[in-house]
Amino acid sequence: MIGIDVLPSHHDVETALTTTEYRKSRPEDRAAIFAVLNEDKDQAHIEAREGTFDCQFGAENPHGDGTGALWVVTVDGEIAGVNGLMPAKIRYQKEAVDAVWSCDTAVSSRFRGKGLGKGLLARVSAEAEVVMGYGISDMSDPILNKMGWELVPEARGFFFYVAEEGAKGLIKNARSSLVRLALGPAKSAEIEVEIHEGEPFGADVDELWKASVPEYVSVVERDAAYLNWRYHRHPRLHYVAYYARRAGELVGVLIARPDAIEAVIADYCGPVQHGDIKEALLEAAVSDLSRRGTRRIRCETTDADLIDVLGREGFRQTNATFRFRVWSNRRDDHDRAKGWFLMTGDSDNDLAALGSSPDSGAFAKRGPLSLLMVSALQVMAATLQLMASALTRVSPLCGDETTELCRTAPPPGVKTPGSTLRSPLRGLASALYRSTEMSTLVRPRGGLCT
């Protein structure tokens, strides 16, 4: 039973609010909802929004109950604001939980400043045990912050530059390629990667997710039904899947969206801790997306292991804001922001084909000469770290392992070949990175002897 809230009247020069009602949307509200969502938007945005609306909020979502709906607020019978709901089955602090995504919070310009957005978000916050929002707007974020939605600070965005234009673009392209050449891992002889295009996700993906999910703390369930809805059956966008196999067994899946301007690393399904799987998948995806043609490749994630792999593949962290907030209706829940695994595809911006992000990283703020100097320093740092890694590989105490370097550190006081050079090289590399204000230190795979 949905209650109707009748609030006191508010008077304004333009609009007199007399009766305000919050309720779930009805089929006949569709045109009015689009009018609010599309206000001041360009034609491309309008077409994308309307083309994905039923997929996003309709009965197709396998995590829902078939009765998709939005919250709306009406003023004197006119829809003045909306807030979308997307059901989601998640693992939350290792437990299976029914949750919802809050998305597309919008209030018509004629009714802003009267608390309607806050009223919508308050009702969405009571919809499930856990409520999530990703890709939160500048307008909604302060409201959610005041309401107590907790920010997950680990959400970050990265770019790999392939064919950016202009002088600055050429420098960025060179930086990504050179760092990838210097630090990118060699292809694993044990892991083979296949490209799957236009095929639904099947039982092998379900088995992979079932085996992998115990490793996750908090994550949206990534079973085959969810991945098919989110990517394979998307009404507007085309996705490609990369399958990693070891001795014929499926061990990981990476999903990407090719695009002539900005390709996207959208999702990952597989074990959390196996960096070699992520390395093989990301290497294959970057190579494939680059061959298909794009200016840059974007990836958003909270996963520290994947962030490390992205750095070695030549991705650079951007300063753009990627807001993910969580609300829990559990009593005394103080760990809402801990242990979340997120990818680009978790944001409804990508589902709605609105996912292109501005390149607002530190590179975007530099002139060509300054950018060239920064890139040169970072490539030098990558080369120094590669040299330090090579010295480690030939150490008789470390052996010649290439997957996990230096499983055992040398005994105290024992010097190994190259040890007198290794520490200065690493120190100089770190200093070069700090001087260029890199947010994430790119480092060779595995540890280095100390």
Q: Are residues 88 and 162 in the same domain?
A: no
Q: Are residues 131 and 224 in the same domain?
A: no
- Cα–Cα distance for residue pair 183/175, rounded to 1 Å: 12
- pLDDT at residue 149, rounded to an integer: 95
Q: Which of 105, 129, 148 is at the close of a domain?
A: 148
443: in domain: no
Q: Are residues 284 and 343 in the same domain?
A: yes
φ/ψ (deg, to 5) at 190: -90, -25
Q: Are residues 298 and 342 in the same domain?
A: yes
Q: Are residues 103 and 216 in the same domain?
A: no
399: in domain: yes
296: in domain: yes
- Cα–Cα distance for residue pair 318/344, rounded to 1 Å: 14
The DSSP annotation for 168-185 comes to: HHHHHHHHHHHHHHHHPP
Which H or E run includes 296? strand 296-301
4: in domain: no
- pLDDT at residue 182, rounded to an integer: 84
Please name every residue paired with 244 in a beta bridge, in sequence order, or none if there are none.
193, 252
- pLDDT at residue 390, rounded to an integer: 52
Domain count, the chain: 3
Q: Are residues 209 and 348 in the same domain?
A: yes
Global pTM exceeds 0.85: no
- Cα separations (Å) of 183 from 238, 286, 376? 30, 14, 15
404: in domain: yes
Return the closest-CA partner of residue 315 out of 445, 447, 184. Answer: 184
pLDDT (tens, 9 = 90+) of the chain, 450 residues, equals 333 333 333 444 344 547 999 999 999 999 999 999 999 899 988 888 888 898 888 888 999 877 668 999 999 999 999 999 999 999 999 999 999 999 999 999 999 999 999 999 999 999 999 999 998 888 889 999 999 999 999 999 999 999 999 999 999 999 999 988 888 766 677 899 999 999 999 999 999 999 999 999 999 999 999 999 999 999 999 999 999 999 999 999 999 999 999 999 999 999 998 889 999 999 999 999 999 999 999 999 999 999 999 999 999 999 888 899 999 999 888 889 999 999 999 987 665 555 444 444 444 444 555 555 555 655 665 565 555 555 444 333 333 333 333 334 444 444 444 445 545 555 555 454 444 444 333 333 332 222
- Cα separations (Å) of 148 from 83, 94, 325? 18, 22, 9
Q: Which residue segment(s) compose the domain that 248 sits in?
A: 156-323+338-356
- Cα–Cα distance for residue pair 244/164, rounded to 1 Å: 29
- Cα–Cα distance for residue pair 131/149, rounded to 1 Å: 9
- pLDDT at residue 371, rounded to an integer: 52
Q: Which of 127, 148, 169 is at the close of a domain?
A: 148
Residue found by looking up tokens 């908090």 in the block: 218
Q: Which of 148, 167, 201 is at the close of a domain?
A: 148
444: in domain: no
N- to C-terminal Cα distance for the chain? 65
Q: Are residues 165 and 305 in the same domain?
A: yes
448: in domain: no
Q: Are residues 344 and 419 in the same domain?
A: no
134: in domain: yes
- pLDDT at residue 379, rounded to an integer: 60
Q: Are residues 181 and 290 in the same domain?
A: yes
Q: Are residues 108 and 252 in the same domain?
A: no
- CATH number at 126 reads 3.40.630.30
Q: Are residues 231 and 272 in the same domain?
A: yes
Q: Are residues 84 and 127 in the same domain?
A: yes
